[in-house]
Amino acid sequence: MKIRIGSRRLAIDGFRIAVGVVLSVMALFMLLPIVYLFNHAFKPYHELFVYPPRFFVREPSLQNFNELAGVTARATVPMVRYLFNSVLISGLAVALVTAVSALCAYPLSKHRFPGSKWLFGLIILTLMFAPEVVQIPRYLVVSRLGIMNTYFGHILPLVAMPIGVFLLKQFIDQIPDALLEAARIDGAHEAVVFFRIVVPICMPAVATVAILAFQSAWGNTETSALYMLDEEMKSFAFFLSTLTNNLSNNVAMQGAAAVAALILFVPNLVLFVILQSKVIATMAHSGIK
Amino acid sequence: MSSKGPAVPFGASPERGLPAVAGGERTETRTRARANPVVRLLADIWAWRLSYLFIAPFMLCFTAFIVVPVLAAVALSFTYYNAIEPPRFIGWQNFQYLISQDLLFLKHALPNTFKFALIVGPGGYVAAFLLAWMIAQMPQALRKWFALAMYTPSLTIGIAMSIVWLPLLTGDRIGYLNSILLKLGLIDVPKLWVTDPSLLMNSMIVVTLWSSMGVGFLAMLAGLLNINPEYYEAARIDGIRSRLQEIWYITIPAMKPQMLFGAVMAIVTTFKTGAIGVELSGQNPTPEYAGHLIINHIEDYGFIRFEMGYAAAVSVFLLVLMYLSNKLSWNLFGEKGDDGR
């Protein structure tokens, strides 16, 4: 600890500057690979393999974007199809996850129906498990349901997102019962209470769940690898993972892969930057009590 | 369940009548209910039918893709199942083989997972807390940007993460890390960061730690920012001198729920990691099984050897491991001390 000279205020400032320096160094380390990704994506060939390697791009070019498009030019499935699949899957997943989670979280929080405590306990319990662990039985379920090779096979497994229900439920807990009660006395149906009062109040949590749903859908390679048989049903993230096989031994595709990674990464970043304050507001209620 | 108050849906009292539930029907079922607890429960359930309708869509997906797979994994773990013939019950044989004869598991998957989980789990967790705490000391205007910088790496999910790191770790002298270390004279020959079996695990740990400031980190940051500043003032009057004391006696107890949430998230992300080794080294299985984790072992048996019963047994083992780790963090941060349980 610092030796305090004079007022406490002075000591805090000195300490804060030190903390700020440490944080800045950490931030630099965290962001370096990201900055690098942006630079790499715009490097022309002769800069990709130069020795000693240069971090920043000198003559930015769109060569890598063309190369990425060219990879699939002669294939049966064009890259646009993968992108279309990913956009469609992510859009539907976001809409379904938020709607289904909010619908489930409201009664869990505000109705004391038989079994509600037990169900919430079960959801907290599954929060601790990763679906990746039980992918074999999941595969069997998907194949028995007959949704292999359909968009349902992409989306429905993602809809079961316990963390979405959890975050929304914790957020809805903040809404005073008196408010809902007042609406009910005025004759509002539960559906009206839900859509007119609960949903508008918990928009920050809805936005957070939407972001989480988007992240899991947009970057998902698992459903494509396991449940999709036809190439034209697979997602962009999966296409990217096929591009990068053996990337460590082969630098030829690095530029194109960097572009593809950029396409995967930028929507996540943009969404988070837009909704950051809402996410933090939601997370304040995320504690498990 | 018995202490949950009057069996009146949506908190409205019976005198006011209930728009959502047919009034006459309910009073009738309630009189009948006094006689028989089962009838009473059924009546209760019927009265809350709208609530069940609300939760139905989620519960259907939840049951199909989480509850049933977990139960099925437990059931399959006691069988021999190759996906062609129907499963055949073999008792504890899978588990016996797993803990006594499966050399790949005992020599690689298990120790690798322990090393990986012990560093990435608690390490990432403590780092997330410290970073969040440092950010909370910053003036308001800067917090947002620091939080963004720390969280951004976790957005490079899955495959994008490897693409970001591979060129940095490439094994020849063009790799950035090699190039820098060679220039500084710290190494003489380029190191094979992702293909050398003795280095792969370290690379995996660094890359995973880098991307681990995710939801749990944000939760802890939000928890820190929400602590009532009066607590700190009161503590100062009570004689708390250093910042360490402040963290130990005020900060952590005040944000226990978020600490627990963060711990659960850290455990889940740590144990579900598996693809990173394969993606970094570009080989499946990883060179000399250096990056072979339990998740890879499950995939290996499930989707490559098609011994699904055995794979299910491995996943049950992993589920138990995750459960025990969670139990531990629950004991550390769960709110139970007050009523002396």
Read off φ and ψ for residue B80, nearest 5 degrees: -100, 120
Contacts of residue A104 in chain B, CB cutoff 8 Å? Answer: 54-55, 57-59
CATH number of the domain within which A115 lies: 1.10.3720.10
Mean pLDDT over the full length of chain A: 85
Q: Residue A28 falls within a domain, yes or no?
A: yes
**How many percent of chain A have pLDDT more than 90?**
46
What pTM was computed for the model?
0.86
Closest alpha carbon to A279 in B214, B333, B149, B124:
B214
**pLDDT (mean) for A119-130:** 89
Read off φ and ψ for residue A113, nearest 5 degrees: -75, 155
| CATH class of the region B95-333 | mainly alpha
Which pLDDT band holds residue A133 (cuts at 50, 70, 90)?
A: confident
A187 and A213: one domain? yes
The pLDDT score that the predictor gives to residue A250 is 53
Whether residue B322 and residue A245 make contact (CB cut-off 8 A), yes or no, is no
A73 has a pLDDT exceeding 80: no
Here the ipTM equals 0.87
A63 and A124: one domain? no
Query: Three-class SS of residue A234?
Result: coil
**How many percent of chain A have pLDDT more than 70?**
90
As for how many domains chain A has, the answer is 2
CA B148, chain centre distance (Å): 22
Nearest CA in chain B to A263: B160
Mutation target for A interface from B8, B51, B301: give the one with most A CBs within 10 A: B51
Contacts of residue B86 in chain A, CB cutoff 8 Å? Answer: none
The pLDDT score that the predictor gives to residue B52 is 92
More confident: B340 or A48: A48
The pLDDT score that the predictor gives to residue A4 is 42
User: With the C-alpha atoms ordered B264, B269, B274, B280, is the resulting torsion angle positive or negative?
Assistant: negative
**Minimum mean pLDDT range among A94-98, A180-184, B63-67, B334-338:** B334-338
CA distance A10 to chain B (A): 14
Nearest-CB residue to A246 (from B16, B170, B282): B282
Closest alpha carbon to B67 in A94, A223, A164, A160:
A160
More confident: B28 or A67: A67
Which pLDDT band holds residue B20 (cuts at 50, 70, 90)?
A: very low
Contacts of residue A264 in chain B, CB cutoff 8 Å? Answer: 156-157, 159-160
A123 and A266: one domain? yes
The pLDDT score that the predictor gives to residue B21 is 43
Helix (H) / strand (E) element for B89: namely strand B88-89
Nearest-CB residue to B282 (from A36, A111, A247): A247
Cβ neighbours, 10 Å, residue B176:
19
A163 and A261: one domain? yes
- DSSP letters for B306-339: --HHHHHHHHHHHHHHHHHHHHHHHHHH-S-TTT
The pLDDT score that the predictor gives to residue A64 is 82
A57 and A91: one domain? no
Mutation target for B interface from A23, A174, A208, A235: give the one with most B CBs within 10 A: A23
A164 and A263: one domain? yes
The pLDDT score that the predictor gives to residue B186 is 84
Which pLDDT band holds residue B12 (cuts at 50, 70, 90)?
A: very low
**pLDDT (mean) for A147-169:** 93
Residue A158: which domain range? 77-283
Nearest CA in chain A to B219: A283
User: With the C-alpha atoms ordered A77, A252, A36, B269, is the resulting torsion angle positive or negative?
Assistant: positive
Could you give the residue range(s) of every CATH 1.10.3720.10 domain in chain B? 95-333
The greatest distance separating any two alpha carbons of chain A, rounded to the nearest whole angstrom, comes to 75
A117 and A195: one domain? yes
B71 has a pLDDT exceeding 60: yes
Which pLDDT band holds residue A10 (cuts at 50, 70, 90)?
A: very low
The pLDDT score that the predictor gives to residue A71 is 73
A25 and A57: one domain? yes
Mean pLDDT over the full length of chain B: 83
The two tokens of residue A119 are 């169900």
The two tokens of residue A221 are 């390679």
d(CA B146, CA B217): 12
d(CA B99, CA B105): 8
A148 and A273: one domain? yes
pLDDT tens column, A19-31: 999 999 999 989 9
Query: Three-class SS of residue B113?
Result: helix
**Minimum mean pLDDT range among A187-201, B100-114, B168-182:** B168-182
Which pLDDT band holds residue A5 (cuts at 50, 70, 90)?
A: very low
Paired sense of beta strands B79-80 and B88-89, if any: antiparallel
Q: Alpha helices, DSSP H only, in chain A?
A: 8-41, 45-48, 63-71, 79-110, 116-127, 135-145, 151-159, 162-172, 177-185, 190-192, 199-201, 203-218, 222-227, 236-243, 254-283
A46 and A139: one domain? no
- Which residue shows structure tokens 């409205």? B12
For residue A95, how many C-alpha atoms fall within 13 Å in the half-sphere facing its CB? 6
Q: Is A11 in contact with A5 (CB distance < 8 Å)?
A: yes
CA distance B65 to chain A (A): 6
Q: Give the gyration radius of chain A's Cα atoms.
A: 24
More confident: A170 or B33: A170
B103 has a pLDDT exceeding 70: yes
Nearest CA in chain B to A53: B174
**pLDDT (mean) for B230-246:** 88
Q: Residue A289 falls within a domain, yes or no?
A: no
A108 and A42: one domain? no
Which pLDDT band holds residue B341 (cuts at 50, 70, 90)?
A: very low
The pLDDT score that the predictor gives to residue A23 is 93
A95 and A135: one domain? yes
More confident: A125 or B174: A125
Q: Residue A72 falls within a domain, yes or no?
A: no
pLDDT tens column, B242-267: 888 889 999 999 999 999 999 999 99
**pLDDT (mean) for B150-174:** 79
A246 has a pLDDT exceeding 60: no
B31 has a pLDDT exceeding 80: no
d(CA B28, CA B16): 17
Q: Residue A98 falls within a domain, yes or no?
A: yes
